[in-house]
Amino acid sequence: MTTSNVADQTTLQDPTKQYPRPKFEEQSQEAPGLAKKMNPKPDHGEETYKGSGRLAGRKAIITGADSGIGRAVAIAFAREGADIVLNYLPSEEEDAKEVISLIEQAGRKAIPIAGDLSEEKFCNRLVEDAVHQLGGLDILVNVAGRQEAEEDISKLTTQQFEMTYKTNVFGLFWLCKAALAHLQAGATIVNTASIQAYQPSPTLLDYASTKAAIVAFTKGLAKQVASKGIRVNAVAPGPIWTPLQPSGGQPTEKLPEFGAKTPLGRPGQPAELAPIYVLLASQESSYVTGETYGVTGGNMLP
């Protein structure tokens, strides 16, 4: 099962049939997982996203840019004219090299900086290195996240709970704090929340609660920096077909029906989120701040 026959995103088509639907095969990987090992392979917009210069000359940091949503955002931003610093874990180098090539094919600068966002010193260095190598910073996109399913709170260890918060919330806080020292009026921050913030799954206590924290953080920070002309928004995905799912994000036995309970009857693909990140990063959304945009296949946010 592949996504190679998917039409570009300007072609009128039935969204319920646009991408593969369950039932999928059972599959698992060691965390953090690689997109190329998934079946079907996710669509990040490699063949489907067409840019139109909406981010021409912008300078962006994108975390989690090797695969999943971050990869789709990186491809879209490059094709819209942005230069990009890509962050990912060292173990994800194989996927990251593919993204770097795609960005360079779009004629844009791709600067890879591997490292762990659960470490404050690295987050500070990531921003400083990005500003130095890009010659400034206009956009911060926080996508990287940690998700590990656990069915019983008695088995949810303090170590797992702490690492999920350090990666998903503390890392985002450190990056926003460091970036704001360099952002000018017109700059944007786009965070990644989740439908889990509003409809938490019983197996994702730690992950869901971090996403709720991100929603509140986004709203509060947006108010704090609005007078500086800086906008802060978030995207809240529903079930999206990324390496996060088969590498511990979902119980293996649930993957064959992943996304089946959405009104559209299938999981979303990373390429379907990229246009929302482009919108929120571009001047077209100049009167939008403090918002959380749902991309959920019909499972509506409150």
Q: What CATH number does residue 63 fall under?
A: 3.40.50.720
Q: Name, in order, each residue with C-beta under 8 angstroms of 21's C-beta and a sequence gap of 6 or more.
A: 259, 260, 265, 266
Q: H-helix or E-strand containing 28?
A: none
Per the CB < 8 A criterion, the answer to whether 291 and 234 are in contact is yes
Q: Average model confidence (pLDDT) for the chain?
A: 94
pTM confidence score: 0.94
Instruction: Classify residue 14: in a domain, yes or no.
Output: no
pLDDT(9) > 80: no
pLDDT band at 5 (very low <50, low <70, confident <90, very high): very low
Of the candidates 81, 88, 85, the residue with the CA atom closest to the CA atom of residue 111: 85
pLDDT band at 4 (very low <50, low <70, confident <90, very high): very low
Residues in the chain: 302
Instruction: Classify residue 17: in a domain, yes or no.
Output: no
Domain residues for the domain of 144 are: 52-295
Q: Which percentage of the chain shows pLDDT scores above 70?
A: 98
pLDDT(1) > 80: no
Determine the distance from the C-alpha atom of residue 110 to the mean position of all C-alpha atoms in its chain, rounded to a whole number.
Answer: 17
Instruction: Classify residue 300: in a domain, yes or no.
Output: no
Q: Give the number of domains in the chain.
A: 1
A 10 A CB-CB count for 61 gives 27
Per-residue pLDDT reduced to its tens digit, 173-229: 999 999 999 999 999 999 999 999 999 999 999 999 999 999 999 999 999 999 999
pLDDT(47) > 80: yes
Per-residue pLDDT reduced to its tens digit, 57-76: 999 999 999 999 999 999 99
pLDDT band at 36 (very low <50, low <70, confident <90, very high): confident
Residues serving a catalytic function are 207
Instruction: Classify residue 75: in a domain, yes or no.
Output: yes
